[in-house]
Every structure is written in structure tokens, then in C-alpha cells.
Amino acid sequence: MKPEYKKKSIRSYVIRAGRMTDGQKNAFDRWWPMYGLSLFDGVIDPTAIFGREAPLVVEVGFGMGDSLYAMAAAEPDKNFIGIEVHPPGVGRLISLAGGDKLTNLRVYLADAVDVMTDCIPLNHVDRFQLFFPDPWHKKKHNKRRILQPEFAQQIRRVLKEGGCFHMATDWENYADHSMEILSIAEGYTNAASQYCFAERPGYRPKTKFESRGERLGHGVWDIVFAKTE
């Protein structure tokens, strides 16, 4: 499987040539027909896709999928859509989901901005998640960070009123950058309080990487903003 995307000059990611395991390849053959969504099918109807009405959670950049899988398994009352560009992570996620017979998860192997523009209906998402995105820490690469003012507004358009955007990062500079963007963004309010970071919500699993970082004294910053209009 190859990721679906449109041509653009600046991307927030690079496609890593990671080799898929046999298990990940087999997962695409077995489970993609159930879990896979295509960018080129256009705007989705979540009720039709999942066969029910339920709160919708969208996550961009789920990596190898362990965290998103854990959330979908722990919150069966919600529907989850994951968006990722790296095939090994998608293969692992749908293998886990298929093995556990999860029915509340769907996946795009595609560019997040394209999916947000062409596929996610407006005012439908209850929770939008962006966990540990590439920080592009060199100043000359900051323009590649996925969270920019335009993307913040793209997220707001798909959120329901009162829905939340939850970001987490282990780069303090990126945390400050994101807090500045969201604090002045139209139609948002900080769910903690003005210019304050949030406590880690119970629904966000703590990753092994995060736990190891905490033991080494590294910080993690959660940012939660609600759509107000």
C-alpha cells in the first residue's frame, strides 16, 4: 500500500522507507477492506461508515498505532478515525484492531491536510487529536510544523461546537509555539485556562517513550482547546 496525497510544496512529514514486516503486509490483505478509507472517495458519512451514531474522534499521525488502538478498545462508545502516511504503522494498527475484532475504528493511509479538506464533514468531530507530531526543531524547518494558523482553523471547521482539539508534545518550544497559535486563533478557548497547559486527560495513554522521558526528566505538554463557535 502507498499513501494517498495531492501535490504540495511544503509537507509536515517525510515518507520514511521503513520495511513492512510480513505480519503488516498480511494485515493489509486481510483487514484493509474492513478498516481502510480512501482519500479519493470524498466526504464521508460517519453514521454510514460505522453503522451507528456515536461521538467521533479523529487522530492525525498515530505512528505505530498502539495509543490509538488502546483508546479505541477502551472507548467502545466512540468512533475513531486515524490518519497516517507511514504504511508499517497502519499495517500494525489494523492488525491489532482486526485481532481484537474492533468495529469502532477506520483508517486513512493519506496526507492529513488532504483528508481534512476533502473527507471529514464539517461540524462532526467531537475530539481531534494530534499527539507528538514531528517538531521540526530547526528554526529553518519550523514552517513544516503541521500546527499552523491555517491548520488550526481547518480543525475548528470539522469540530462540533464544544468539541475539543487536544495536542501533546515533548518539545517545549513546539508547546509554546502551539499555545501561541491557539491562544489567538478565532473560535477557540483554552479548556484549562488562558495560556495554561492541561493535565494529561485519562483517555490519552502514556506511551513507553513518554514514560522513559519522564524518568530522564523530560517534560510533556498537553494542550486542550474547545471550539466556541
- Phi, psi dihedrals of residue 144, rounded to the nearest 5°: -85, -10
Q: How many CB atoms lie within 10 A of CB 129?
A: 23
Active site residue ranges? 134
Distances (CA, A) of 219 to 60, 79, 188, 215: 21, 30, 25, 10
Q: Give the cell for residue 217.
A: 526528566
Inter-residue contact 12 to 87 (CB < 8 Å): no
Q: Confirm if 126 and 56 have CB atoms less than 8 A apart.
A: yes
Q: Please give the biggest Cα pair distance in the chain.
A: 48
Show the cell assigned to 207.
506511551
For residue 54, count other CB atoms closer than 10 A to its CB.
17
For residues 225 and 165, give the distance between their C-alpha atoms in angstroms, rounded to a whole number. 5
Q: Is 190 exposed, middle or buried (0-12, 13-18, 19+ CB in 10 A)?
A: middle
Question: Cβ(108)–Cβ(115) under 8 Å?
Answer: yes
